Amino acid sequence: MSIYYHACRDLQEREVHGHEELQVSIPVLARRPPDRAACGPIEVIPSYAEHSTTWGGSRELIIIHFASDFLVRSVEQRIENLSQRIQVSKDDLFISKIGLTIRDEIHSNGEVEGFLLTTLGTILAGYLSKGASPGSGKNSTEYMTFEQMRRAVELINGAIGEQISLLEISSALGLSQWHFARQFRKTTGLSPYQFFMRARVERARGLLEDGCPISEVAAATGFADQSHLHRYFMRFTGVTPGNVSRRLKKSGAARSS
């Protein structure tokens, strides 16, 4: 998954092109009134579909590219299947707010931290895979609002190395456990438990890539032991923690030689 942020004073246009990734383009206003999120239609562009891109002036653009391996890992969807059946409202408030969150992070910190980006990407990929448009249809109460989603993710991310119950999260959102679990799955395509375990694995991946020992990574991310980490890491990434550590050591040795 990768993001591109386009903003400039003059109107810019990229010529017609295509790429293998699924693209989501989210236009936002440079100076946004409190009641506005997007300043144009949100576009979901299938893999390899030809398209052009414009931005500039008051129109800033957040572009998100979903690679096939990210979609399989995060929501267990093949890119060709997902590209064919996505339907979203062109003024979808949920997607707009994900774009604004990314834009605000870039403005504040110069980048989007990797774990936050993966989390937002997983939420958006799951949301797109359900073809959901909460807030735009009569069944919007079946879905979580972006604010509820943001708070739930905050609680989940804050408990990566610990344990958190469904009751704790649902109570913080003012929902029953049943309604929270149902709305979370409806919005993201994942159960709260699946999302929590994927978040743990993504945090573990980041620590391994930083060179942390596997035993320390398992403890820091709430897994009972290395075997527990190995099982979930293999399930969600297709490789083992040892593979990641060995690859890191090999690349380090190659640079030093």
CA distance 60 to 73: 30
Q: Is the pTM of this model over 0.75?
A: no
Q: Quick one: 12 and 78 in the same domain?
A: yes
Q: Quick one: 81 and 117 in the same domain?
A: yes
Q: Among positive and negative, which fits the CA dihedral 39, 143, 114, 21?
A: negative
Q: Quick one: 56 and 129 in the same domain?
A: yes
> Is there a contact between 164 and 156 (Cβ–Cβ < 8 Å)?
yes
Q: Quick one: 8 and 134 in the same domain?
A: yes
> Is there a contact between 10 and 57 (Cβ–Cβ < 8 Å)?
yes
Q: Quick one: 183 and 251 in the same domain?
A: yes
CA distance 99 to 65: 13
Amino acid identity, residue 22?
L
| pLDDT tens readout for residues 194-207 | 888 988 998 999 89
Q: How much is the pLDDT for 248?
A: 80
Q: How much is the pLDDT for 92?
A: 78
| pLDDT tens readout for residues 111-163 | 887 777 888 888 888 888 766 444 444 355 678 888 898 899 889 888 888 88
Q: Quick one: 165 and 224 in the same domain?
A: yes
| pLDDT tens readout for residues 11-63 | 788 889 888 888 888 888 766 555 555 556 788 888 888 888 887 777 788 99
Among candidate residues 98, 116, 139, the one where a domain is terminated: 139
Structure tokens at 126: 């799951």
Amino acid identity, residue 175?
L
CA distance 92 to 5: 19
Q: Quick one: 187 and 247 in the same domain?
A: yes
Q: Which residues have a Cβ under 8 Å from the Cβ of 116 and sit 6 or more positions away?
A: 105
Q: Is the pLDDT of residue 98 over 50?
A: yes
CA distance 83 to 22: 7
- Stated as kind and residue range, the H or E segment containing 28 is strand 22-29
Q: How much is the pLDDT for 135?
A: 44
User: Domain holding 171: CATH number?
Assistant: 1.10.10.60
| Cβ neighbours, 10 Å, residue 136 | 14
**What is the number of structural domains in the chain?**
2
Structure tokens at 106: 């870039």
Which residue range is the domain that position 214 belongs to? 144-257
CA distance 159 to 164: 6
Q: Quick one: 123 and 148 in the same domain?
A: no
| pLDDT tens readout for residues 219-237 | 999 998 999 999 999 988 8
